């Protein structure tokens, strides 16, 4: 059982990464009919929503795209920024979906922002408390640490609707702005679904890891 709980998270993460990488490479080779680049798409979406103060910049790497609400910057990887593929416009629109979420104070994005410092504190402190409890054979202390670490699961759970909603917003705007056609929509959906699966896989992988820790604490208590 313990071996399965060790291997399963690794398998889930590897499969999800393989899926997103395969999908990204596939749709990176398919140009949108409008020939609009990811950078242009991002600028169009932001300006349409009155977000002229949000900057769009190019960064290095692959699938490193993100929006930083503290600096008000949408960072797009080189291929997404300059490319006019299905993958480029889909990823750019997704990141702009996050910007709109912040503007509209979307409930889950607000909750996630609140949880960030809480999770950072409880996860790190909880790990220390749990280890002390295990080595000192104090079951209650170990369980307190474990429960504190479970805050990370709540954060990941809140992240899921945030990511799915950003993707939905992104693809709807792509259609609205005529960046993609109805025929291209299924390809955009497929690309964004592949990206979302990485968050889903990470969540389930974390559940199995926490279950393994819980079983380890209980086994230590019986011994």
Distances (CA, A) of 119 to 70, 123, 129, 163, 210: 18, 6, 15, 19, 15
Q: What are phi and psi of 73, to 5 degrees?
A: -125, 130
Nearest-CA neighbor of 143 among 206, 205, 216? 216
Q: What are the tokens at 157?
A: 């759970």
163 given a catalytic annotation? no
- Catalytic residue chosen out of the listed positions 55, 79, 95, 104: 95
**Calpha distance 98→164 (Å, rounded):** 10
CA–CA distance, 52 with 47 (Å, rounded to integer): 5
- Active-site residue numbers? 95
């Amino acid at each position: 059982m313990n071996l399965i709980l060790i291997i399963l998270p690794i398998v889930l993460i590897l499969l999800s990464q393989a899926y997103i990488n395969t999908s990204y490479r596939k749709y990176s080779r398919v140009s949108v009919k409008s020939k609009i680049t990811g950078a242009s798409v991002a600028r169009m979406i932001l300006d349409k929503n009155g977000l002229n103060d949000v900057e769009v910049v190019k960064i290095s790497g692959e699938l490193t795209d993100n929006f930083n609400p503290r600096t008000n910057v949408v960072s797009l990887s080189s291929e997404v920024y300059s490319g006019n593929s299905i993958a480029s416009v889909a990823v750019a629109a997704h990141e702009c979906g996050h910007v709109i979420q912040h503007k509209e104070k979307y409930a889950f994005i607000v909750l996630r922002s609140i949880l960030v410092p809480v999770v950072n504190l409880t996860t790190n402190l909880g790990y220390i408390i749990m280890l002390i409890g295990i080595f000192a054979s104090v079951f209650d202390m170990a369980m307190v640490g474990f429960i504190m670490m479970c805050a990370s699961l709540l954060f990941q759970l809140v992240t899921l609707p945030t990511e799915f909603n950003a993707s939905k917003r992104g693809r709807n705007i792509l259609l609205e702005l005529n960046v993609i056609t109805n025929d291209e929509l299924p390809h955009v959906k497929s690309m964004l679904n592949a990206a979302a699966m990485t968050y889903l896989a990470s969540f389930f992988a974390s559940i199995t890891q926490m279950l393994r820790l819980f079983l380890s604490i209980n086994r230590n208590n019986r011994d």
